[in-house]
Amino acid sequence: MKGGEYKMSEKIHTREFCISDYPAYQRCGLGKRLLDACLNGLRKAGIKRVIIMVADDNQRGTRFWERVGWEKIPGAVPMGIDL
């Protein structure tokens, strides 16, 4: 194998993280640690700013992100296009 490559064991099954998984991570304290690990990885990669989108009617989600240090971006308008 080339440097940096690895072979995943056939006994390990992976799937996309679902929002329904989050309460279990949160209960055992992994939610914040998982977020921290992701952000630290991005910092090490040299990424300076990360932007997320939270639905405007998701007050609980907005409070969570603010509590862990994220800020609203005044004057920003989220935009997108379906391809």
HEC-encoded secondary structure of the chain: CCCCCCCCCCCCCCCCCCHHHHHHHHHCCHHHHHHHHHHHHHHHCCCCCCCCCCCCCCHHHHHHHHHCCCCCCCCCCCCCCCC
pLDDT tens digits, 17-57: 677 877 776 666 666 777 787 888 888 888 888 888 888 88
Q: Where exactly are the structural domains of the chain?
A: 19-67
pTM: 0.53
Query: What is the pLDDT, as a whole number, of residue 31?
Result: 64
Query: What is the pLDDT, as a whole number, of residue 49?
Result: 86
